[in-house]
Amino acid sequence: MAIVSEPIELPVQGQTIAGTLLSPSPKLPGVLFVHGWGGSQQRDLGRAESITGLGCVCLTFDLRGHARTEDQRQTVNREQSLTDVLTAYDRLVSHPDVDPESIAVVGSSYGGYLAALLTAQRRVRWLALRVPALYWDKDWELPKAALNREGLAHYRRTLHSPADNRALAACGEFAGDVLLVESQHDDYVPHETVMSYRSAFVGAHSLTHRIIDGADHGLTQEAWQKAYSTLLGGWVSEMIVGSRLENYPHHSAVYS
């Protein structure tokens, strides 16, 4: 937890002596959840509630083309989706209890791709990506649903670098802490895609890569959902809660 230090004056018998008042900052870390294509914020709510209990302010939301705006699914493009994420980020940071220097973003699949792009435009300290999808840079304003699926499948089975992909370039510039979660049997985001992301994080402060054994892309079994929740919760606790504790001053004293 950050420490607020305030110099004060103490009146004593007609004069003043200097003091310093230290208190824990009322500001809390903020955590933004970005769901995948075809999903919704509902999947994130349980994890958000658990992380809120650790002393964070969490925000979940529905991308356009999902939930109550599902009728826009066939027309939404990546530019609009990224605008949705930027808007949600700005709303989270504007919360009076949120520390804008302590923001985490948790993205799954398409949401992981968008979360990576977000880091190029906003301050993010912690980044958790579960099975992050990867898309070529071309056709940026073409509806997401109209992108060639066979072509994307081939693209994802090929290793890429920050030099030829916008999202990976953002990862290459990211200097915070990263959690990268892979599903062992993923038909949509293959191992090569995850390795493209992993290789891109050349400047990350730390990188944790975990594989959920036996899992598919959507974590369709309850055991796989629980495994991911445990991974995410443990990492958040270590990174976010741990960083707040590190900011407490350490004292040694000798008594006589």
Query: What is the pTM assigned to this prediction?
Result: 0.88
Q: How confident is the model at residue 249 (pLDDT cuts 50, 70, 90)?
A: very low
Residue pointed to by tokens 């002596």:
17
Q: Are 194 and 131 in contact (CB under 8 A)?
A: yes
Highest CATH level, class, for 27-245: alpha beta
Q: How confident is the model at residue 248 (pLDDT cuts 50, 70, 90)?
A: very low
Q: Closest by alpha carbon to 189, among 209, 168, 216, 208?
A: 216
Q: How confident is the model at residue 2 (pLDDT cuts 50, 70, 90)?
A: low
| Measured CA distances, 171 to 4, 9, 241 (Å) | 32, 47, 23
The per-residue DSSP string of 159-198 comes to ---GGG-HHHHHHHH--SEEEEEEETT-SSS-HHHHHHHH
What does the alpha-carbon distance between residue 92 and residue 103 come to, in Å, rounded to a whole number? 9
Residue pointed to by tokens 């607020």:
4
List pLDDT tens digits, range 213-222. Answer: 999 999 999 9
Q: Are 215 and 221 in contact (CB under 8 A)?
A: yes
List pLDDT tens digits, range 22-77. Answer: 876 678 999 999 999 999 999 999 999 999 998 899 999 999 999 999 999 999 99
| Measured CA distances, 115 to 18, 105, 244 (Å) | 47, 7, 23
List pLDDT tens digits, range 158-202. Answer: 999 999 999 999 999 999 999 999 999 999 999 999 999 999 999
| 88-92, 154-158, 248-252: least confident range | 248-252
Strands 15-24 and 3-12: antiparallel
| Measured CA distances, 180 to 97, 166, 206 (Å) | 28, 18, 11
Q: What's the token pair of residue 104?
A: 């985490």
Q: What's the token pair of residue 91?
A: 């709303």
Q: Average pLDDT of 86-108?
A: 95
Provide the b/e sequence for 122-137 (b: ≥16 CB within 10 Å): bebbbbbbbbbbbbbe
List the chain domain ranges.
Answer: 27-245
| Measured CA distances, 163 to 63, 203, 210, 228 (Å) | 28, 15, 25, 31
